[in-house]
Structure 1
Amino acid sequence: MKAFLTAFRLSLPVLGAYWFLGITYGLLAANMGYSICVPVSMALLVYSGSVEFIGLTLLLSTFHPLATFVMAFMVGARHLFYGITMLDRYRGAGWKKPFLIFWMSDETFAVNFANEGKMRQSGNVFVGYLWVSALNYFYWVTGSIIGYLLGRSLGERLLSHLEGLDFVVTAMFVAIFMDDYVRHGDTHLYSWLGIIVAAICLYLFGPQQFIIPSMFCILAALFINYRKATP
């Protein structure tokens, strides 16, 4: 119970973001004429918000399997870096590991990575990780269902008031970053590294292509620093 309560408190910012975005996703699916099976199935099985939004459009166009795969891979490629980062954290998780891997998302990674100490204090660190992952998954799926039902009943009258709602996720990441920056004084160098590298890659590659180059550069810099620090 303590692990659940800790995970629930830590996941509350994600609840707000996922319900808002999930509702938007469900509204969009309803207004595009899909049955409830489509958005809910994608929420349950794909569980990648960006890919799901793209998928709604792709399903209404000519289907190109290879192009769809490449697009989905590029959009979700950042999860490769999340997995590499969490290798040590999830080692020894046992039967929980497949769920931790499948339920990994941007926000779940941010919460689990930044709060290992609180997870350990709650009892079993893997149980804490699992509860955060499961709760975030639940928020997204239920948000999608709520959005679809609202879209069927209210339609464009409600959708017109939700423009720009995706900024909720940006605001949430800023809050998580500032919390980590304040609480962990020894990691300020890495925080500034992320900001500077991302800004440079944004300038060089543009807003649509900068995420993967940024992650490669940050990973390379951290690896070089690790090699220097390791005798």
Structure 2
Amino acid sequence: MKKAAKFAFVKSIPIMLGYVFLGIAFGLVLQKAGLGPLWALLISACVYAGSMQFALVGILTGGLSFVTTAVMTLFINSRHAFYGLTFIERFKKMKKAYPYMVFSLTDETYSLLCSMARPRDFTDREWDMATLFVSLFDQCYWVAGSVLGALAGQLITFDSTGIDFAMTALFVVICVDQWKHAKTHIPALAGFACGIFFLALIRSANFILPALAAVAGVLLISRRIIERKMEDSSL
């Protein structure tokens, strides 16, 4: 367990650097809305959905209806349904940890798990534990940052404009790393092309769901080509 925890911690350091600072930003926004550290702890522990948590601040203070909240949550976090398809079989093998792995699959955790290579000396049990620790550590980083931000907001005031760019920078680093190690770039190029197309077409944050659906369709159509390229690169 110690070996798995150490491996997961080292791998999750980039996520920690992004989550702590973005969590602080969330805590500051929450505190400015009149909701203190306890709210930051409860929301980050129970909701744990970065962009939805920022939207939830307006929902809690604006008194939106349950239906509106449910629809907004569906649109904001619908992309996670596509992420989960990639790991559904792997998570099921983790048995008791399966519900938490589904709950904790954020954008950044998904990217890290996709790029994380299994060490040769790891048993199946150790690899499962490392995967679980990655998800657990990532949530701990977010919770700690959120509470810290809410506490800091009560004590000091400063201009926090631009602090959320830390997560954008983290995405860029993970994307470049995956590009360098990928055996084929067809999935990445398909995602980029579909994202640009639907963003230009819809011109709002709602472009994510149709873009992901289009990417899934492209990958299904080109599945044999992708598999052939991956087999050729492994020879």
Q: Where does residue 181 of structure 1 map in the other structure?
A: 179
**Alignment partner of 1:144 is 2:162:** no
Aligned to 2:188: 191
Secondary structure of residue in 1 paired with 2:185 = helix
Whole-angstrom distance in 1 between the partners of 2:226 and 2:184: 15
The counterpart of 1:127, out of the listed 126, 129, 133, is 129
**Rounded Cα–Cα distance in structure 1 between residues aligned with 2:145 and 2:52:** 16
Residue in 1 that maps onto 2:161: 163
| TM-score, structure 2 normalization | 0.89
Tell me which residue corresponds to 2:118: 118
Shift in Å at residue 16 of structure 1?
A: 0.9
The percentage of aligned residue pairs carrying the same residue is: 30
**1:34, 1:70 → 2: CA distance?**
23
* 1:26 counterpart residue number: 27
User: Does the aligned pair in 1 maintain the 2:12–2:138 contact within 8 Å?
Assistant: yes
Q: Distance in 2 between matches of 1:229 and 1:51?
A: 34
C-alpha distance in structure 2 between counterparts of 1:26 and 1:153, whole Å: 12
Tell me how far 1:100 sits from its aligned partner: 0.7
Paired position in structure 2 for 1:79: 80
Match of 1:118, SS state, is coil
Shift of 1:94: 1.1
**Structure 1 position 227, deviation (Å):** 6.1
**Equivalent residue, structure 2, for 1:7:** 8
The two structures have a TM-score, normalised by structure 1, of 0.91
CA contact (8 A) 2:101 2:132 kept: yes
The letter of the residue matching 1:194 is G
In 2: Cα distance, 1:120 partner to 1:202 partner: 41
Decide whether aligned partners of structure 1 residues 4 and 119 sit closer, same or farther in structure 2, where only a CA change above 3 A counts.
Answer: farther
Partners of 1:50 and 1:121 in 2: CA distance: 37
Gaps of 5+ in 1: none
Does residue 36 (structure 1) correspond to residue 37 (structure 2)? The answer is yes
| SS, match of residue 164 in structure 1 | coil
Match of 1:51 in 2: 52
Aligned residue pair count? 224
Deviation of the 1:62 alpha carbon: 2.8
Q: 2-side partners of 1:119 and 1:81: how far apart? A: 27
Match of 2:201 among 189, 197, 204: 204
Q: Secondary structure at the match of 2:118?
A: helix
CA separation of 1:216 and 1:40: change in aligned 2, threshold 3 A: same
Q: Distance in 1 between matches of 2:58 and 2:119?
A: 39
**Residue 222 and residue 32 in structure 1: after superposition, are their counterparts in 2 closer, same or farther (change >3 A)?**
same
Distance 2:161 2:121 in 1: 40
